[in-house]
Amino acid sequence: MLIKGRTGSGKTSILEACSILSSGKSFKTCDIKDCIAKNSSSFYIESVFDDFEGYSRTVSIGYDKGGNKRILIDGNISSRKELLNIVYPVVHSPDDMLIISGSPKFRRDLIDRICFIEDKNYFDDMSEYLRFIRNKNAALKEGNSEIVRYLNAAAAPLIDKIRKKRYVSCETINKNIEFLSEKLFSEMKISFSYNIDENCYEKLDSKLERELEKGFSLYGPHLDVINITTEVGDAKNNISMGETYINSFLIKLAELNIYAGKNEFPIFLIDDIFVFVDDDTKKILFRELESLKNQILMTSSIENLNNFNNMEVFYLSM
């Protein structure tokens, strides 16, 4: 389905609500409080999904400014982890160009999603690691080097485990991107690279003095650099805006392809469909979208998509 309407008509808000309902998170902001409408104290959204097993599930999420969040699946109080095990969206918006042109955080977030597709236990691994960072930062602020050394020793095997999964996921998405590039845009070649440190505990220990000075952690998977390159070098500095958009879209198609290999077909949410690309490129990408088994929900405000007839169009008015 294509949702069309003027800027400010609420198109992206519909996609954002779908994203929150199917993942527990917004794709527009890291702070879910920002999703609460002006002059409101909370939000509540509900919908019915078909999960990855094909069963109909009713999901509702409520959140208020006090930080209280409740996820209900079929009327039962649930967690975000349970939600992610029954349904998950893949989202593309112009902001996803930052996967290529932005900081390593955007690439870490993508690779972490691929890790989750490959191994649902990765959610627990990252939750455990984030607890370690919170506890370590608290000890660093107190200047307690003994506790920090204990925490480092306990976390080193987990850090190695996370990094090995990330390395494998980089290889997995690279294979899928290569397949799609050859199929759609043979001249475009991009890949992710991720180097794993040996002797993790020694590296943690070497940072201790500096971390005690700063009062926070300076090393670990939450700061790891994941690079992305093209055939002409660093992707951040060597490709145009149009090429950046196409490559970011190919990355999301590769993510869908990995899901399809597991016979899972998440909803594909596309905000501001095909900005920055010419008509010929749009036709190529539309043909690929038409071949997907996924349900697709798209928005457009300025793009002329009248030549693509195989879609349901919904118009939003102000």
Residues with Cβ within 8 Å of 237's Cβ and at least 6 positions away in sequence, in order, are none
Domains of the chain, start order = 1-89+302-318 (3.40.50.300)
Within a 10 A sphere around the Cβ of 290, how many other Cβ atoms? 11
The pLDDT of residue 307 is 59
C-alpha 187/C-alpha 178 separation (Å) is: 11
Q: What is the pTM of this model?
A: 0.88
Measured between alpha carbons, how far is residue 77 from residues 50, 82, 83 in Å? 19, 10, 11
Within a 10 A sphere around the Cβ of 105, how many other Cβ atoms? 14
Over its length of 318 residues, how does the chain's per-residue pLDDT go in tens digits? Answer: 888 777 777 788 889 999 999 988 888 888 888 888 888 899 999 999 888 888 999 999 999 888 888 999 999 999 988 998 888 899 999 999 999 999 999 999 999 999 999 998 999 999 999 999 999 999 999 999 999 999 999 999 999 999 999 999 999 999 999 999 999 998 888 899 998 888 899 999 999 999 999 999 999 999 999 999 876 556 566 678 888 999 999 999 999 999 999 999 999 999 988 888 888 998 899 899 999 999 999 988 765 555 556 677 777 765
Measure CA 192 to chain center. Answer: 15
Q: What is the DSSP letter of 302?
A: S
Measured between alpha carbons, how far is residue 187 from residues 180, 182, 243 in Å? 11, 8, 11
Whether the Cβ atoms of residue 16 and residue 93 lie closer than 8 Å to each other: no
C-alpha 61/C-alpha 47 separation (Å) is: 9
Quick one: tokens of 54?
């094909």
- Check residue 67 and give left, alpha or beta (phi > 0: left; psi -120 to 50: alpha): left
C-alpha 177/C-alpha 250 separation (Å) is: 7
The stretches of 68-144 forming alpha helices (DSSP H) are: 80-84, 98-101, 104-118, 122-142
Q: What is the DSSP letter of 157?
A: H
The pLDDT of residue 238 is 66
C-alpha 180/C-alpha 188 separation (Å) is: 10
Kindly report, residue by residue over 108-156, the tens digit of the pLDDT.
Answer: 999 999 999 999 899 999 999 999 999 999 999 999 999 999 999 999 9
Give φ, ψ of 73 to 5 degrees. Answer: -120, 115
Whether the Cβ atoms of residue 226 and residue 192 lie closer than 8 Å to each other: yes
C-alpha 37/C-alpha 120 separation (Å) is: 33
C-alpha 278/C-alpha 190 separation (Å) is: 20
The pLDDT of residue 237 is 62
Looking at the chain, the number of H-run helices and the number of E-run strands are 11, 12
C-alpha 146/C-alpha 152 separation (Å) is: 10
